[in-house]
Amino acid sequence: MKKAIAVVLLLAMHAMAVDLSGKWSGSFKADGADHDVPQLFIFKQVGNKLTGSGGPDQSEQYPIEDGQIDGDRVKFAITTGEWRFTYSLRAIDANLTGDLELKSVDNRRTAKVNLRRAQ
């Protein structure tokens, strides 16, 4: 009986997990870069799938690709042209923080990202 209650509680907690849908903003600075790059994402979460768009600002948005949510882990990618950005983030409190891998046809760079829910 106790086990059943624990399972139900866990499932309920999972169902109550934060919905990422909405606007998230922040920035990243690639390792060795001189500038911060602004970020704005408009997420749509359905179950463990993440869709929507992202880019530097509202006027330049690229579709979210391969968006997956697994517990507090969030993975997705955007292709802005020659560069593909692959995000591996964790939802911690009201933030999404983690790593970004940037790959072009001849280069690979990394960055730390921090996003906060935008008002």
Q: Nearer Cβ to another protein, position 48 or 80?
A: 80
Q: Is 5 helix (H, G, I), strand (E, B) or coil?
A: helix
Decide if 41 contacts 54 (C-beta within 8 A).
yes
Q: Note whether 105 binds another protein by CB under 8 A.
A: yes
What's the min distance (Å) between Cβ of 41 and another protein? Answer: 14
Q: Note whether 119 binds another protein by CB under 8 A.
A: no
What's the min distance (Å) between Cβ of 9 and another protein? Answer: 40
Q: Note whether 107 binds another protein by CB under 8 A.
A: yes
Q: Tell me which residue of 66, 59, 68 sits closest to 85, measured CA to CA.
A: 66
Q: Note whether 54 binds another protein by CB under 8 A.
A: no
Q: Tell me which residue of 39, 63, 23, 58 sits closest to 111, measured CA to CA.
A: 39
What's the min distance (Å) between Cβ of 116 and another protein? Answer: 21
Binding footprint of another protein on the chain (CB under 8 A): 31-35, 55, 58-63, 65, 77, 79-84, 103-108
